[in-house]
Structure 1
Amino acid sequence: MEYDEFITHVQSLTQSDSREEAERATRATLETLKERIAGDDAQQIAAKLPQQLGDCLRGREGDSGNIFNLQEFISRASQKENIEPTTAAIHVRAVFTVLQNAISPEAFAAFHAYLSHDYQELFTISPTGEVPA
């Protein structure tokens, strides 16, 4: 998936009128993800994304990652975007949805395995907007 396509999908899912907002949401989410998962796994995901997106995940190779729950993830993303946590939660969900389509199922499964059970609510809506059966 190309950078413009990724951002366009995030913008659509967040129902934002601003491409810049979608770019900020994407950067904030990926940078927070970089803090959460092991650096080598972040690097593997980065390699499957366009350069501009992958750069948000690079720089922590060899690091084991930090364990924090979904609420903390959203709080950190919210601070990076300088927005309310409720809006950040919508942005994080949108970015995760697009990310799921942008990388291979194997890479996504490896990334998903790092997340605790409370993150499951981010994956309740499919990329088409339908709730899985």
Structure 2
Amino acid sequence: MKYNDFMGQVQNRLELPELGRAVRVTRAVLTTLGERLQEGEARDLAGPLPMEVDYYLEAAESGQRFDYDAFLDRVADRAAADRSDAAYYAKVVFGLVSELVSRGEIEEVRAQLPDDYDDLFQLIDAEEVEE
């Protein structure tokens, strides 16, 4: 998937009025996720993504430890959104990422995160139930 297609998907799925907002939201979610994951895992997750998008994961200072509440606070701050919007943004952006990477890679990400991050995987888990 190309960068413009990826951002268009984010904009469409989140029903955002501007592409710039989709870019800001994507950067907020993936930078924060990149900070939480170990360096190698962030790089592996970034691999199949468009180069301009994988940068958000790879450029983050990885390996930080923070809970899901802190994750949402960081996303909300970076996206200039409230926490409930930040939670929704994170689920949707990560859901799109999960469509582009292998299921095994998503499971490796999940294994690195504590149980309080389960909400991040909500859309992915719902898709599995439908299948």
In structure 1, distance between residues paired with 2:28 and 2:20: 12
Alignment of 1:103-118 (within 5 A): 103-118=101-116
Query: What is the identity, as a one-letter code, of the residue corresponding to 1:7?
Result: M
Aligned counterpart, 1:87: 85
Does 2:129 align with 1:132? Answer: yes
Displacement after TM superposition at 1:92 (Å): 0.8
CA distance in 1: counterparts of 2:71 and 2:30, whole angstroms: 11
Shift of 1:131: 8.2
Matched residue, 2:28 = 28
Task: Report the alpha carbon displacement of residue 17 of structure 1 after superposing the two structures with TM.
Answer: 1.7
Alpha-carbon contact 1:93-1:123 (below 8 Å) kept? yes
CA distance in 1, matches of 2:3, 2:113: 25
Counterpart for residue 42 of structure 1 = 42
Q: Which has the higher helix share?
A: 2
Classify the secondary structure of the residue corresponding to 1:132. helix
Deviations 1:78-97 (A, max 9, x none): 11112212211111111111
CA distance in 2, matches of 1:56, 1:123: 19
Secondary structure, counterpart of 1:49 in structure 2 = coil
AA paired with 1:132? V
Offset at residue 126 of structure 1 (A): 4.3
> Matched residues, percent identical?
28
Decide whether the 8 Å contact of 1:125 with 1:132 is kept in 2. Answer: no
Structure 1 residue runs of 5 or longer lacking an equivalent are: none
Q: Which residue of 1 aligns with 2:72?
A: 74
- Structure 2 distance, partners of 1:59, 1:87, is 24
Following the alignment from structure 1 to structure 2, what is the Cα–Cα distance between the partners of residues 6 and 105?
A: 19
Asked whether the equivalents of residues 40 and 60 of structure 1 are also in contact (C-alpha less than 8 Å), the reply is no
Deviations 1:1-59 (A, max 9, x none): 22222222222221212211111111111100111000111111222211101111124
Instruction: Normalising by structure 2, report the TM-score.
Output: 0.86
